[in-house]
Chains A and B, each alone.
Chain A
Amino acid sequence: MDIIFLTFILVLSVFLGFELISKVPATLHTPLMSGANAISGITLAGAFLAAGATNNDMASWLGGAAVAFATINVIGGYLVTDRMLGMFKSKRGK
């Protein structure tokens, strides 16, 4: 059941992703990619499981490295996306 449930989520998310992203205009494709970089740092939520364990040293080392890599994505991705989007200005907006 678990497998079916997770696959169900996957399929719906993929369709939703296609719907949403195909509406992003070409001018925002670079911020879209760096924003996607940030979102893929979601592995952070999965990395805690291993990083916080004490029963196995190897698990916590690998998990800790995963936490570091994912945090680079999250922090770096959101900051650089925000920096870029801050530069997009409208003619009237000034």
Chain B
Amino acid sequence: MDIEIYTNLAYIVAAALFIFGLKMLGSPATARRGNAFSSMAMLIAVIAGLIGSQAVSYEVIIVGILIGALIGTLSARLVAMTSMPELVALFNGSGGASSLLVGWATLYYLEGDVVPTFTAATIVLAILIGGLTFTGSLIAYGKLSERINSAALVFSGQRVLNSALLLAIVACAYLFCIDPSATSVYLYALLGLALLLGVMAVIPIGGADMPVVISLLNSYSGIAACAAGFAVGNNILIVAGALVGASGIILTNIMCKAMNRSLANVLFSGFGAAKTAKAVEGEVKPISVEDAYYILEAASNVCFVPGYGMAVAQAQHVVKELGKILEANGCEVSYAIHPVAGRMPGHMNVLLAEADVPYEQLVEMDDINPRIENVDVAIVIGANDVVNPSAREDPDSPIYGMPIINVDQARTVFVLKRSMASGFSGVDNPLFFGENTRMLFGDAKESISGVIGEFG
């Protein structure tokens, strides 16, 4: 009893530190210290949890921690900033797996005792959400790293199959809760169905919608931790899980709004192909590196608009270099970032921060749009759908209504692009044919290096 009081007191301290840490994440200036506070909270919670568990054997625990620490350290140290979405997807998955295992193990731990129905129900939730998060994240990882086809996979009968899957889950969950035991056949059925559900939930979602999926899975991994917390009756799991769950839901919501789509639409529609937008006709006006230099040399306000293509071309460092040269030339430089640019929330910001762009120069869509007319040159690097004026003007376009960065209203637009292929959503982009648009064809990194060379 004494130990329980002390562990719970420690949990209170940990919860307070978690909250304080998240609060400090509200500004780039304090964020790093916030993360340190949060990790301190984790250390306190883990030590308290270890003491409170009154474990009799430490071998398994130590081996588990060593394996986890090794994998965690290596992945955190080695990952390239361009691959952050993949890493976060994998971390989401491992959080889900851990909750599933805690829920499952609790059944064995309680073996011999009568498992109350409420505990059984929370175990079911931990297994379901944890399993769904695990396989869903693996599929998301596969799509993000393009190990599997990133296009939406839709087939006839998909909805029927998914509905049947959900019904089977509800039935198994009910039958398990009536007579919960570690050897229940329904438990194994639930495990299998949960893992299958994760796969089925993510395959119909296309690569361009990954920012939503990854946020949602982030949220699930927190909710799963919450459920596991109920199963083992541990309140710090509930507090921390709820914080993570809330964070994921907020990000999911921001991503959906930024694409002007409902969550249901993202999850079930298999975006693409459906509507046919107006075919865009016109002439593109290519520009040479030399001419681009003359225009930039005379510009007094330049705004970079990066997209996933910048990450693919690893162009963030040369972009920063060009930005610095322009600034030295007396030009005002900013970097406008659309909420869904890249493959996860804030992806572009991290890449530019990696290249040493001060965070004051990273501006949001809503900040740049009102003053976009004062921008002499908007340089679009590997972005497409997030600057597509069809979203504003063409009601038949699949992306109609999505808020965009209105680069077409800048005085001049440079679009850096490999070729004339359409964007990830497969939608034509009238921006490329605009009166004030100049296309700078070729690899983004080489083109920008070329311009920098001209400044020489």
**Residues of A participating in the B interface, judged by any CB pair closer than 8 Å:** 2-3, 6, 9-10, 13-14, 16-18, 20-56, 58-91, 93-94
Contacts and interface: CB of A to CB of B under 8 A. Distances in A.
B264 to A, nearest CB: 21
Contact of A48 (B50, B73, B226): B50
A58 B50 contact: no
A71 B65 contact: yes
A40 B349 contact: no
Contact of B346 (A13, A31, A65): A31
Nearest to A50: B105
A46 to B, nearest CB: 5
Contacts of A13: 238-239, 242-243, 246
Contacts of A43: 95, 98-99, 102, 225, 228, 237
A32 B42 contact: no
Interface stretch (B75-83, B193-201, B283-291, B384-392): B75-83
A31 B76 contact: no
Give me the 7 closest cross-chain CB pairs, A-B, nearest first. A52-B55, A71-B68, A17-B246, A45-B49, A29-B346, A67-B64, A76-B72
B25 A46 contact: no
B334 interface: no
B318 interface: no
B79 A24 contact: no
Interface stretch (B144-152, B164-172, B295-303, B337-345): B337-345
B131 interface: no
Interface stretch (B33-41, B202-210, B428-436, B446-454): B33-41
Contacts of A20: 19, 22-23, 26, 243, 246
B108 A73 contact: no
B431 to A, nearest CB: 23
Interface in B49-80: 49-50, 53-58, 60-61, 63-65, 67-69, 71-73, 75-77, 79
Nearest to B130: A43
B25 to A, nearest CB: 5
B326 interface: no
A58 B222 contact: no
B50 A37 contact: no
Contact of B45 (A32, A45, A50, A76): A45
A85 to B, nearest CB: 4
Contacts of B241: 40, 42
20 contacts: A6-B229, A21-B22, A22-B250, A27-B337, A29-B251, A32-B345, A33-B248, A33-B346, A34-B87, A37-B88, A38-B38, A41-B98, A42-B45, A45-B50, A52-B61, A66-B99, A72-B71, A84-B84, A85-B32, A91-B358
Contacts of A94: 358
A9 B32 contact: no
B129 to A, nearest CB: 11
A8 to B, nearest CB: 10
Interface in B352-402: 353-354, 356, 358-362, 364
Contacts of A69: 68, 94-95, 97-98, 101
Nearest to A75: B72
Contacts of A75: 68-69, 72-73, 76
